[in-house]
């Protein structure tokens, strides 16, 4: 009887040890299969340290428009906006380190490191300045830091429902949310390691159905969870000082696209969010703002033409002409 009990205990221990290993193997195999089925549409460029960034460029002309995505976003986020913009000029969507088809990178992943990565990738891709950076949400952090770091190479900025240090100063609720996200990060990384997101069928439901299988595949990956955690920490930490150090942009053309509807704030917090969007327009003496009346935070999926029109305005102004629709 004792031998049988001992065997059962040993068997249970072995089983408990095998299940996590099997889950890790499952997640790794599923992730590898996903990337085989969905090859990158653009090219991978070496940015040093054995790392590559994916960049997909279309169209021709100057200034070059470069799209910077939100936390957890990728080059695919711009699938509807990029074709519109590429009718006007060259347009490049890329994946930050750890996102989309790009390789992972060591932490921390603050906006300055990301801006330097992007500048290197643009050089390797043969995409010269001047640049118009389009930053959505956290992408606004990176766009402003890039513009401050490489000011002489800039032609304009477009901030799409962006966040900045001003957001956290005016809306404590948002900061509390992201501080909780930092605490949750370690669990999200474990969930990705063991394939929990994939097994549960979690989905980025705000993404249109035609590209959601790709964006979900990115979301399931461990490298994205690692990098997103690093970016969240930077956003509420050192990244704030980096954005502040970038300062304002004098006469650089700046367009602000604000969401007209809220999907995560209400009441006074939503009113303050809208005020912060107006405040971004004060970053330059040549600025404008438009409200995407039918959109919540991810404007690029709901009203891509509004963003394309704002980009067109900045590009045409940078060229010294009158703004025209794309």
Mean pLDDT for each 10-residue chunk of the chain (326 residues)?
A: 55 52 67 87 92 96 96 94 97 94 86 95 95 97 97 97 94 86 73 66 83 88 79 86 94 96 91 96 95 96 98 95 49
The pLDDT value recorded for residue 235 is 85
The pLDDT value recorded for residue 299 is 97
For the entire predicted model, the pTM comes to 0.89
The pLDDT value recorded for residue 49 is 84
The pLDDT value recorded for residue 20 is 67
Q: What are the helix (H) ranges across the chain?
A: 2-37, 81-85, 111-125, 139-149, 165-170, 172-193, 196-200, 212-220, 222-235, 238-246, 267-280, 299-302, 304-318
Spatial separation of the C-alpha atoms in residues 291 and 274, rounded to whole Å: 10
The pLDDT value recorded for residue 196 is 64
By C-alpha distance, which of 47, 59, 94 is closest to 74? 94
By C-alpha distance, which of 126, 119, 99, 100 is closest to 48? 119
The pLDDT value recorded for residue 23 is 60
The pLDDT value recorded for residue 190 is 62
Neighbours of 301 (CB within 10 A): 18
């Amino acid at each position: 009887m004792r031998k049988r009990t001992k065997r059962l205990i040993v068997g249970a221990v072995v089983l408990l040890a095998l299940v996590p290993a099997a889950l890790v193997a499952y997640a790794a195999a599923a992730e590898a299969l996903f990337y085989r089925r969905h090859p990158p549409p653009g090219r991978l460029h070496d940015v040093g340290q054995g790392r590559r960034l994916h960049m997909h460029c279309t169209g021709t002309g100057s200034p070059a428009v470069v799209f910077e995505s939100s936390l957890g976003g990728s080059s695919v986020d711009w699938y509807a906006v990029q074709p519109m913009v590429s009718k006007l000029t060259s347009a490049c969507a890329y994946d930050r380190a750890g996102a989309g088809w790009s390789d992972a990178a060591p932490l921390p992943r603050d906006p300055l490191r990301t801006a330097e990565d992007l500048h290197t990738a643009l050089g390797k891709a043969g995409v010269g300045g001047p640049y118009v950076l389009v930053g959505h949400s956290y992408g606004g952090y990176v766009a402003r830091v890039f513009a401050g770091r490489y000011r002489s190479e800039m032609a304009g900025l477009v901030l799409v429902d962006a966040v900045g240090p001003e957001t956290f100063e005016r809306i404590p609720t948002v900061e509390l949310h992201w501080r909780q996200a930092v605490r949750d990060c370690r669990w999200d990384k474990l969930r990705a390691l063991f394939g929990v997101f994939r097994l549960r069928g979690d989905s980025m439901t705000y993404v249109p159905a035609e590209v959601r299988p790709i964006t979900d595949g990115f979301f399931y990956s461990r490298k994205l969870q690692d990098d997103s955690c690093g970016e969240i920490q930077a956003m509420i930490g050192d990244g704030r000082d980096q954005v502040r150090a970038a300062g304002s942009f004098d006469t650089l053309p700046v367009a602000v696209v604000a969401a007209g509807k809220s999907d995560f704030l209400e009441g006074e917090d939503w009113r303050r969010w809208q005020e912060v969007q107006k405040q971004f327009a004060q970053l330059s003496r040549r600025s404008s703002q438009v409200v995407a009346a039918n959109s919540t935070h991810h404007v690029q999926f709901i009203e891509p033409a509004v963003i394309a029109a704002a980009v067109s305005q900045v590009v045409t102004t940078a060229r010294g002409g009158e703004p025209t629709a794309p």
